[in-house]
Amino acid sequence: MAGDSTLVKELRQKTGAGIMDCKQALVENADDIGKAIDWLRQKGLASAGKKAGRATNEGVIASYIHPGSRVGVLIEVNCETDFVARNDEFQALVRDLNLQIAAAKPVFVRREDVPKDVVDKELEIYRGQAKEMGKPQAAWEKIATGKLEKFYQDNCLLEQPFIKDPNMKVADLLTQKIAKTGENIAVRRFTRYQLGEEE
């Protein structure tokens, strides 16, 4: 049955969307949870996108030390008002981001932060790998581009699968929180420290 209450509940837990939106998403997508999530994300991205251009001059700088004191993270997450910066939803997001960074070891916040020389070097390596594997030259660029996407997923915080729900990216988590708080939220910067690691 379209819009079944257990499916609505599951969809709400996964997306944070309202009951009526979840029911509508399930009806529109014949109770397919995956498609309903995509449908809601498209709707959510539209509303979050409007907020994405707004200034984020408030927020927090937060730290996290992993048990055993061998890994630490320092992060700055910005929002629009001090009110949101102090609320539980925002604080929980910052904690989740710290855990993500500690566990998944991103190097950059977003793909746009990766220096061009790093991208060029990676592409050169991937083309070389494709050549070594005996792939036809016409396919090298496509293979290199595919591997570069994987590089972004591994090294850019917003591109990584969220450790608490690998079905969504960290960027999707941020979009969800923007929709919930009604404010633009941005990860400004972070530093991850690992004991004994070279600079």
Predicted confidence (pLDDT) per residue in 46-102, tens digit: 455 555 556 667 899 999 999 999 999 999 999 988 898 999 999 999 999 999 999
pLDDT value, residue 166: 93
By CB atoms closer than 10 A (0-12, 13-18, 19+), residue 93 is buried
Query: Do residues 192 and 102 lie in contact, with contact meaning Cβ atoms separated by under 8 Å?
Result: yes
Alpha-carbon distance 62 to 54, whole Å? 22
Collect all residues with Cβ–Cβ distance below 8 Å to 110 and sequence separation of at least 6: 156, 157, 158, 159
The DSSP bridge partners found for residue 190 are 75
Selected from 3.30.870.10, 1.10.8.10, 3.30.70.3340, 3.40.430.10, the CATH number assigned to the domain covering 5-51 reads 1.10.8.10
pLDDT at 39: 77
Neighbours of 127 (CB within 10 A): 18
Q: Which CATH number fits domain 115-154: 1.20.58.390, 3.60.150.10, 1.10.286.20, 3.20.20.150?
A: 1.10.286.20
**Per-residue pLDDT for the chain (199 aa), expressed as one digit of tens each?**
445 678 887 776 666 666 777 888 888 888 888 788 777 767 664 455 555 556 667 899 999 999 999 999 999 999 988 898 999 999 999 999 999 999 999 999 999 999 999 999 999 999 989 888 888 888 888 989 999 999 999 999 999 999 999 999 999 999 889 888 888 899 999 999 999 876 5
Chain centroid offset of residue 47 CA? 17
58-110+156-194 is a CATH 3.30.479.20 domain: yes
> Using CA atoms, how far apart are residues 19 and 5, in angstroms rounded to an integer?
9
Q: Which two tokens stand for residue 196?
A: 């004994």
What are the sequence ranges of the domains in the chain? 5-51, 58-110+156-194, 115-154
Query: Which pLDDT score, from 0 to 100, does residue 9 have?
Result: 78
Residue in the block written with tokens 């600079």: 199
- Partners of 73 in beta bridges: 64, 192
